Structure formats: C-alpha cells, structure tokens
C-alpha cells in the first residue's frame, strides 16, 4: 500500500507545488492601492512585509507558497479585519524573487542555494526586531514548510501555527518507502536542472497546467498564473529543489506551539480521502497534539476553493 501512497504523492507534488517562472522588478505584480496596508520598516534582501489592519491588534503572520504573492491572502485579511471586537495586525510575507519582487538575496548562481530556510530565519528576525509577542503564523504550501521551520527552530517566537496543505518531508513523494533526503537529492538535482534551464515558453506552459490543477475555482486561477509568470524562474526552481531535499520530521518534536494542518485529498482519482488521511497522519506522527483536518471539495489553494470553510477553521483555531 505504501508504494501506492508514494505514487500518489508524486502526483500531488507535481501539481501542488511546481510553479516556476521569470522575474520582474518591483514589490509585486498586483495593484496595492485601496487595501490600506504599508510595508514594514524592516531591512532584508530575502523578504519584505506588508502590514494591514489594526496597528494595536493581535499579530498574525501569513506566508504564501512557491511563486505566490501576498495577494493570495487578501480574502483572509478582509475576513480578519472585518471582525467586530477582534483587532488583528496582519503581516504578509513577500519572498524576494516571487510574484514581481526582485530576487535580491534569493538570487541564484551556478548552483542552487536555499530559499525557504533563510526566509524562515528572516521571519524570526522580523518577529524579534518588531517586538511581536508570539504571533500566530499561517503558511500555505511552501509557506507551511517555512512555518514549520520557524516554529521548530524558534519555538519561543510562535504562538500558534497553521499549515495549509503541506507535509514535513516532500521528498518522501519522490522515492520508495523509507527514502531519505540524501537518497532523493539526485532526483531533486535533475528536477532543478530541468526547471531552471527550461525555455521560457515551455516552462510557463508546464506551470500553467500545474496551476490549473491546483485551483478548482476558475475565476481565481488567473491571479495565481500572474504570480507564476512574474516570479524568478531560478529562484522558484531552487526553492522546489529545497522542498524535496528538506526533511523536517526529526524537528517536529521541537515545536511547542499549538499546530493545525489543513489539507485536501490528493489530486488523483485513484487516491481516496482515507489514503490521503493516512499520508498526513504518518507525516505528522512526530508532532504530538497536532490537529489534522481534511477540507473536502477543494484543490491546493483552500483559501480560494473553500474560503468559508477555511475562514471557519482559522477562526476556531485562533480562538482556542
């Protein structure tokens, strides 16, 4: 059975995270007027941070996934800041090299270098230097990986953690049962080389197909496609390689923050909800007390496909 799980997981990885592309200048591809946010005064060549809502409210950090813009969280920001009697100061991370932000410190040279791990360290520094007291952290896809690193490596910095549709070792999807990060590194290197060096048109075509499978709601696809097209191809490729080779399962025991994982059924008709449940249960077995919640009738971008269900789970989690 586990070999079947591995096959399903490869399909999941290919459709859920593989969204590379090419760079533009500027802080983002989306118009920023009208949302009432500002950029935090925080000097970093890895991230910049947009702040919305009640400047005296409770702090929550939202981390988007691979090649994604902070705009993917706009509905979530609107939901949080519209709540009566509950003030939220929302910090949205924009990773340099993604969705129109220049690559800067995440720029890649002849060989791939990490993106997610340095970004996690910069978010930890942001929390410390901005004087945030145990903020809630929500991360989607690669943002979930970053959230896990942040909570495991800086446990005193995170008050609550929600991971949206991500497991702690994506490399398990690329090898036989019991595979290790070292064993899947050659595969990750091959994937990186193909992604980083693919002709632009072919790359965008492949990523467009992948994103179509990641979002069921047709009206929401174009914004994710725009993010992909406005991202730096090599930064995205390097980040994807990093996700394959990073095994966070041994670090899960260090996480002290209450943690909830929202996920969806694998995007393959042969894979049942029960098999998906088993994959997530095995993946997070090392995190005592974790809450695992499957969201049905949704693809990878749960906040797009099942917004009200997502907001309900988020509200309940933040209230606990």
| 3-class SS of residue 264 | coil
Tens of pLDDT, residue by residue over 24-36, are: 334 443 434 334 4
Q: Tell me the mean pLDDT in the region 158-174.
A: 96
- Band of pLDDT at residue 37, cut at 50, 70 and 90: low
Contact 155, 148 (CB under 8 A): no
Residue 10 has pLDDT above 50, yes or no: no
Q: Tell me the mean pLDDT in the region 187-215.
A: 95
Q: Which two tokens stand for residue 163?
A: 């991971």
Q: Which two tokens stand for residue 248?
A: 């966070």
pLDDT of residue 84: 78
Report the C-alpha gap between 271 and 266 in whole angstroms.
6
Q: Tell me the mean pLDDT in the region 51-69.
A: 97
Residue 11 has pLDDT above 90, yes or no: no
- Buried-state track 30-46, b at ≥16 Cβ within 10 A, e below 16: beeeebebeebeeebeb
Closest C-alpha among 267, 263, 254, 282 to residue 178: 282
Q: Tell me the mean pLDDT in the region 171-197.
A: 94
pLDDT, greater one: 144 or 85:
144
Residue 17 has pLDDT above 90, yes or no: no
Please provide residue 112's backbone torsions phi and psi, each rounded to the nearest 5 degrees.
-70, 140
Mean pLDDT of the chain: 89
pLDDT of residue 18: 37
Residue 143 has pLDDT above 80, yes or no: yes
Q: Work out the percent of the chain whose per-residue pLDDT is above 70.
A: 88
Q: Which two tokens stand for residue 185?
A: 């590194």
Contact 81, 88 (CB under 8 A): yes
Residue 118 has pLDDT above 60, yes or no: yes
* Residue in the block written with tokens 């008709």: 269
Report the C-alpha gap between 23 and 52 in whole angstroms.
26
Q: Tell me the mean pLDDT in the region 155-165.
A: 98
Residue 316 has pLDDT above 90, yes or no: yes
Report the C-alpha gap between 20 and 140 in whole angstroms.
16
pLDDT of residue 269: 81
pLDDT, greater one: 5 or 50:
50
Report the C-alpha gap between 202 and 190 in whole angstroms.
17
**What CATH number has the domain bearing residue 286?**
3.40.50.1820
Report the C-alpha gap between 226 and 208 in whole angstroms.
10
Report the C-alpha gap between 266 and 203 in whole angstroms.
23
Q: Tell me the mean pLDDT in the region 170-178.
A: 91
| Domain total in the chain | 1
With 0.85 as the threshold, say if the pTM is over it: yes
Q: Which residues constitute the domain of residue 258?
A: 2-319
**Consecutive H or E run containing 162:** strand 160-164
Residue 119 has pLDDT above 70, yes or no: yes
Tens of pLDDT, residue by residue over 271-303, are: 899 999 999 999 999 999 999 999 999 999 999
* Region of residue 182 (left: phi > 0; alpha: psi -120 to 50; beta: else): alpha
Q: Which two tokens stand for residue 147?
A: 């959230």
Q: Tell me the mean pLDDT in the region 188-201.
A: 96
Tens of pLDDT, residue by residue over 225-272, are: 999 999 999 999 999 999 999 999 999 999 999 999 999 998 878 889
């Amino acid at each position: 059975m586990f070999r079947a799980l591995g096959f399903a997981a490869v399909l999941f990885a290919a459709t859920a995270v593989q969204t590379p592309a090419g760079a533009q200048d500027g802080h983002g591809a989306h118009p920023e007027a009208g949302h009432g946010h500002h950029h935090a005064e925080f000097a970093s060549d890895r991230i910049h941070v947009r702040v919305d809502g009640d400047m005296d409210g409770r702090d929550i950090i939202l981390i988007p996934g691979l090649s994604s813009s902070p705009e993917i969280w706009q509905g979530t920001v609107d939901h949080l800041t519209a709540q009566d009697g509950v003030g939220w100061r929302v910090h949205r991370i924009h990773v340099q090299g993604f969705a129109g932000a220049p690559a800067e410190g995440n720029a890649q040279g002849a060989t791939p270098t990490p993106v997610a791990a340095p970004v996690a360290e910069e978010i930890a520094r942001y929390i410390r230097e901005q004087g945030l007291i145990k903020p809630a952290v929500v991360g989607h896809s690669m943002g979930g990986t970053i959230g896990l690193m942040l909570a495991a490596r800086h446990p005193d910095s995170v008050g609550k953690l929600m991971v949206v549709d991500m497991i702690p070792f994506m490399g398990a999807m690329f090898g036989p049962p019991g595979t290790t990060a070292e064993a899947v590194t050659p595969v990750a290197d091959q994937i990186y080389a193909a992604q980083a060096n693919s002709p632009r048109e072919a790359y965008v075509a492949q990523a467009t197909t992948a994103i179509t499978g990641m979002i069921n709601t047709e009206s929401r696809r174009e914004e994710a496609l725009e993010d992909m097209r406005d991202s730096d191809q090599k930064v995205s490729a390097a980040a994807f390689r990093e996700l394959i080779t990073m095994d966070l399962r041994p670090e899960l025991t260090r996480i002290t923050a209450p943690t909830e994982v929202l996920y969806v059924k694998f995007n393959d008709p042969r894979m049942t909800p029960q098999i998906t449940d088993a994959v997530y249960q095995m993946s997070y077995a090392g995190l005592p007390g974790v809450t695992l919640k499957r969201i049905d009738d949704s693809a990878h971008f749960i906040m797009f496909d099942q917004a009200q269900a997502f907001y309900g789970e988020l509200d309940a989690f933040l209230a606990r």
